[in-house]
Every structure is written in C-alpha cells, then in structure tokens.
C-alpha cells in the first residue's frame, strides 16, 4: 500500500504544471513515432509487388560493388558513367529479370540499352553460342564457313524490296560509318543530312551525324553533315504534320548544299533522343526529296528493329517506306557485339573499288547467336507479343498521365516507349530534378528503366521482348507509387 501511494504521489508530481511541457513533448514524440511505424507498415503492405518468377539465382561469390567501383576508377576510361547514386552490381540475368550481388531481383525495363531482345540468357541463344564455341570460335571471312552465309540468308528474308546484301560489322557506330561511306561512294556526292535530336554513334564520323551536345566532343566533326528540323509531334513547331517538316529538308538541300546530296539518315523512333516517334508521313515525303537530290535513304534500325515496335518487324515499315540502306545492331545478337549493314546489290557493288575486310564481322559464334535470335523471334511470336503488351502498357501509361501532372507526354509503340516528365505542361519545361529523384525511387522499388532526351527528362521503357502483361502492370504501379510520393 505504501509503495502504491508513493507511485501515485510521484505521478501527480510529474504531471504538475511545471513538468507538463516536457510530458507533452514526450507524449507527442511517442505518438508521432507510433504513427510513423504504423504508416511505414501500411506503406510496406501496399508497395507494388514484383511478379513471381520461377528461378533462383546462383549464390554470388565474386567481388562486391565497392571493390568493383574502385577497380573501375583505377583502370577504366574515366568517361564511363554509372546509373544511380547507390550503384547496382548486376551479377546474373534471366529473361526479363536481373539479379544483384545480394540476390535481389529487378525487372529490367531497359534491356541493356535496348540490346537484349529475346531475353537475358535465353536458352536457345545460349545453346547456339556454346555449340558453335566448342567447334570453332573464330576464323575470318578469308575462309569459308557456313554460319555467316546461313545467317545472312535468314536475315535478308526479313527485309523488303531489294535489300539483299549484308555486311557484318561490330557495332551500330561502325554500321553507320559504313553506311555513310557507301552513300558517298554510290552517289558521288559528299553532303549528308540527318535529324536534330538524332543519335547514330560516337565514332569520329558518326559523332557528326549525332545531334545531341551531350554526346559531342569539341573536336572537328561532321564535315558535310547537315541537321534538319526534327519531326517531333510533341515539341516540334509543326506538331504531327510530317510534310511541313519535310519542306525544311527540301529548303536545306537547296540552300546549304550543291543541290545534290549523298544520303539521308533517320531513326524511325529516336532512341537516345527520348523515344521520339517521327511525325506521320514524314519519311515518305523526305525519301522522295532525298532521291530527287541524288541521295540514298538510310534507316537506322539499331534500336527499332526485330519486331520491337510490335506493328512491324522494322521501324521504317511503320512509315510505309523502303530505305536503300539499313543499319542494325543491339538486339541483333541479344547482347553479343555484332551489327550489320543491309543494302541493295547495286549499292553494295561500290565496295568492289577496293578490298574490304572486317576481322570480327560475321564471326561464327556471333552469326550463330544472331541466327538463333531470329529463330526465337519467329517461334515465340515476339513481334505480336510486343504489340499486345505494348498496347496494354500504353493504355496504362496514358491513364497514369491523367493522374500525374508531371507526365507531359507518353509516346512510342510496342516495347519502345517514352514517358517525358515536365514541371509545367503548358511550357513543357523539362522536370530534370524530379526525373532524377523518381529514377532513384523506381530503382529502389525494383525496376530498372532508361533515361534519355536532350535534358534527361524522359524515361525510356524498352525491355526485353519477353516482358509480360504482369511486368507491365508492375512497372506502372511502381511509377504511380513513386510519383505519388513526390
């Protein structure tokens, strides 16, 4: 009883007027902490959940992120950049998913910069690579080997018109380099026209074709290359009127060249530029102008090819045209370093003026992989799959745009989409800081997306082509959750 009375008196003393501010402060802190704990638990319960996937990554026993970063800084090109403030050490991949050093699974919505076409470590491609590697890893084109011929035959079957001759090279930059040379040799002219906002590579020659200051060094470049208005339906001065943009091309040829040009380069959906799909009708009008000026038309299909757009196998087909030269890379080998230039027999014949040789172009292992990619695309009907999943994803992204004012524009087709973020929809001011913040949050929630556009304010959604409807829903749910927290 005495103890109870003492405790009672103590309680009354501590609740006196002099002590009440301290108690109120403590009480408030406890209440807020409890509320935060409850809120955190509630948020955790509603976080978007990555779709189930029946695969367990192997235990990782290699070096961890900090050690790898230290070696990169010491031994690699300092210009190499990394995504994210807290770098991700990717150690394994399977189809549309990637795993880090801890075994955490991420949904890959960028496909190694639009390079993994049929899926990370697709078993059919892996088997083809292993089988060929055990037989013969490398010769050169100075000897006969069936792999390069078989693959070239299969590839040109996918091409329309008279696009029947293939040159194999190692990268998209090299493919565009060769296309520039072919155009100049065939036409007898030197001037070449490309689009503003274009990206065609970073070799000394293709840097001149590229029209992004982000990717240009202050060195001599672009001799004879001119850039015309970009037929951008969102930011361009003529909206979606492709013919008005083409008139600028005609004016440039008349005013800035001798009136004759070597060629015209265009992506159908600009990749690095932020998934910008060219205004309808532009390429047909542009191709007509270019050919009348003696030039050849070059389609850069490095990112848009192999059924990614869903509606067509090649991006240029979405505009109802057939180019004279097509350049291919990235998804052609599902990640292997290979590329190609496809053209007509007539244009290809100009290369006979000199010997031409590429040490690694058409390597047996790469050719086997490229052939396997075509087989998977056909067997698994990936073009149709891209159309179905892409349409669903576009609908969900448009709905997300109605909910969040930060989304200025949703664009693209199939599994080559872009979401442009703006701080003001009227002025279309790029939301640079917000994009960076969302970029980090989306990664923390388990999704890896790309980032592009001149101002880095466009999310590039270009996943492996095995991306599912469930993956699409998870991606949009994650974006919705992240944007709701801004």
pLDDT tens per residue across span 95-122: 999 999 999 999 999 999 999 999 999 9
Higher-confidence position of 244 and 16? 244
Higher-confidence position of 17 and 46? 46
Give yes or no for residue 167 having a pLDDT over 70. yes
pLDDT at 58: 96
65-114+381-484 fold: 3.90.1150
pLDDT at 254: 97
Q: Quick one: what percent of the chain has pLDDT higher than 70? A: 91
pLDDT at 15: 37
Give yes or no for residue 204 having a pLDDT over 50. yes
Q: Is the pTM of this model over 0.85?
A: yes
The end-to-end CA distance of the chain, in Å, is 57
Reported confidence tier of residue 10, pLDDT bands at 50, 70, 90: very low
Alpha helix segments (H runs only) across 189-241:
204-209
pLDDT at 357: 85
CATH code reported for the domain at 123-379: 3.40.640.10
Reported confidence tier of residue 331, pLDDT bands at 50, 70, 90: very high
- For 96, 103, 435, the CA distances from 90, given in Å and listed in that order, are 13, 9, 23
pLDDT at 320: 98
Task: Give CA–CA dist 168/242, Å, rounded.
Answer: 33
pLDDT at 1: 41
**Which residues in 101-237 belong to E strands, given as ranges?**
105-108, 165-169, 192-195, 225-228
Give yes or no for residue 31 having a pLDDT over 60. no
Mean pLDDT of 218-242: 96
Which of these ranges, 155-164, 281-290, 351-360, has the smallest mean pLDDT? 351-360
pLDDT at 45: 52
Give yes or no for residue 42 having a pLDDT over 50. no
Give yes or no for residue 25 having a pLDDT over 50. no
Return the domain boundaries, the chain. Answer: 65-114+381-484, 123-379
Average model confidence (pLDDT) across the chain: 92
Determine how many CB atoms are found less than 10 A away from the CB of residue 357: 9
pLDDT at 356: 85
Determine how many CB atoms are found less than 10 A away from the CB of residue 157: 9
Mean pLDDT of 411-438: 98
Give yes or no for residue 348 having a pLDDT over 80. yes
Task: Give CA–CA dist 347/165, Å, rounded.
Answer: 9
Residue 227, beta-bridge partner list: 194
Give yes or no for residue 429 having a pLDDT over 50. yes
> Do the domains 65-114+381-484 and 123-379 sit in the same CATH topology, yes or no?
no
pLDDT at 13: 40
Which of these ranges, 27-31, 217-221, 401-405, has the smallest mean pLDDT? 27-31
Bridge pairing between strands 105-108 and 447-448: parallel
């Amino acid at each position: 009883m005495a103890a109870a009375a003492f405790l009672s008196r103590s309680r009354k003393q501590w609740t006196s007027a002099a002590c009440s501010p301290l108690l109120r402060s403590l009480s408030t802190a406890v209440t807020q902490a409890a509320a935060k704990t409850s809120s955190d638990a509630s948020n955790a319960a509603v976080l978007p959940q990555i779709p189930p996937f029946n695969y367990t990554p192997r235990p990782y026993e290699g070096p961890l992120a900090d050690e790898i970063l230290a070696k990169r800084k010491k031994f690699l090109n300092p210009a190499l950049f990394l995504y994210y403030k807290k770098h991700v050490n990717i150690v394994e991949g399977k189809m549309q998913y990637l795993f880090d050093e801890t075994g955490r699974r991420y949904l890959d919505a960028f496909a190694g910069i639009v390079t993994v076409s049929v899926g990370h470590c697709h078993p059919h491609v892996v088997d083809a690579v292993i089988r060929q590697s055990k037989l013969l890893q490398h010769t050169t084109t100075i000897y006969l080997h069936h792999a390069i011929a078989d693959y070239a035959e299969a590839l040109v079957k996918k091409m329309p018109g008279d696009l029947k001759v293939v040159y194999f090279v190692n990268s998209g930059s090299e493919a565009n380099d060769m296309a520039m040379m072919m155009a100049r040799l065939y036409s007898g002219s030197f001037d070449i026209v490309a689009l503003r906002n274009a990206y065609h590579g970073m070799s000394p020659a293709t840097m001149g074709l590229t029209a992004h200051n982000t990717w240009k060094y202050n060195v001599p470049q672009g001799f004879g290359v001119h850039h015309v208005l970009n037929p951008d339906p969102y930011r361009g001065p003529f909206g979606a009127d492709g013919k008005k943009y083409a008139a600028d091309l005609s004016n440039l040829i008349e005013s800035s060249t001798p009136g004759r040009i070597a060629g015209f380069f265009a992506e159908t959906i600009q990749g690095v530029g932020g998934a910008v799909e060219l205004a309808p009708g532009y390429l047909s009008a542009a191709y007509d102008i270019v050919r009348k000026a003696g030039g050849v038309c070059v389609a850069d299909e490095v990112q848009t090819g192999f059924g990614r757009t869903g509606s067509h196998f090649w991006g240029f087909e979405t505009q109802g045209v057939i180019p004279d030269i097509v350049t291919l890379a990235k998804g052609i080998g599902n990640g292997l370093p290979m590329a190609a230039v496809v053209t007509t027999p007539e244009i290809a014949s100009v290369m006979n003026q000199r010997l031409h040789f590429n040490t690694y172009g058409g390597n047996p292992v790469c050719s086997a992989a490229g052939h396997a990619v075509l087989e998977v695309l056909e067997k698994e009907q990936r073009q149709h799959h891209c159309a179905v999943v892409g349409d669903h994803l576009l609908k969900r992204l448009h709905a997300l745009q109605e909910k969040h004012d930060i989304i200025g524009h949703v664009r693209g087709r199939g599994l080559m989409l872009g979401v442009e973020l703006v701080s003001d929809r009227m002025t279309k001011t790029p939301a640079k800081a917000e994009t960076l913040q969302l970029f980090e949050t989306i990664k923390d929630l388990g999704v890896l997306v790309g980032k592009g556009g001149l101002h880095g304010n466009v999310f590039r959604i270009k996943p492996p082509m095995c991306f599912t409807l469930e993956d699409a829903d998870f991606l949009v749910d994650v974006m919705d959750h992240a944007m709701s927290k801004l």
